[in-house]
């Protein structure tokens, strides 16, 4: 299976369309460090990512992950809000997106 190459983008998700059950470290290992946390409400969102598929065959697929209203350290969160292309999210996190 070909590895998906991602580009970090300066966008946040619009609204939650699903849930990702993963650890903070699994997300960092897959998509990199949080890159748009500063664009979210810091009282509600502890960490967030925006990314797109860099493949020449799949350009335009975007994904967004964020920790919403989790009142501990984001590194302890295991249930994340997601938005964007469900196929991309499922390819990145097989069996972990609902």
Better-predicted residue by pLDDT, 4 or 67: 67
Q: Please state the pTM of the whole predicted model.
A: 0.93
Asked, for residue 82, whether it belongs to a domain, the answer is yes
**Domain span holding position 66:** 6-92
Distance of CA 60 to the CA centre of its chain: 15
Asked, for residue 28, whether it belongs to a domain, the answer is yes
Give the model confidence (pLDDT) of 16-63 as tens digits.
999 999 999 999 999 999 999 999 998 899 999 999 998 766 668 999
Give the model confidence (pLDDT) of 55-87 as tens digits.
766 668 999 999 999 989 999 999 999 999 999
Asked, for residue 98, whether it belongs to a domain, the answer is no
| Secondary structure string (H, E, C) spanning 35-71 | CCHHHCCCCCEEEEEEEEECCCCCCCCEEEEEEECCC
3-state secondary structure of 24: helix
Number of folded domains that form the chain: 1
Distance CA 76, CA 56 (A): 35
Asked, for residue 13, whether it belongs to a domain, the answer is yes
Distance CA 19, CA 24 (A): 14
């Amino acid at each position: 299976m070909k590895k998906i190459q991602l580009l970090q983008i300066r966008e946040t998700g619009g609204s939650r369309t699903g849930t990702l059950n993963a650890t903070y470290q699994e997300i960092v290992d897959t998509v990199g460090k949080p890159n748009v946390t500063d664009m979210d409400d810091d009282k509600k969102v502890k960490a967030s990512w925006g990314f797109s598929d860099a493949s020449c065959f799949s350009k335009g697929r975007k994904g967004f992950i964020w920790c919403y209203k989790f009142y501990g350290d984001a590194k302890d969160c295991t249930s994340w809000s997601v938005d964007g292309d469900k196929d991309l999210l499922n390819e990145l996190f097989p069996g972990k997106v609902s």
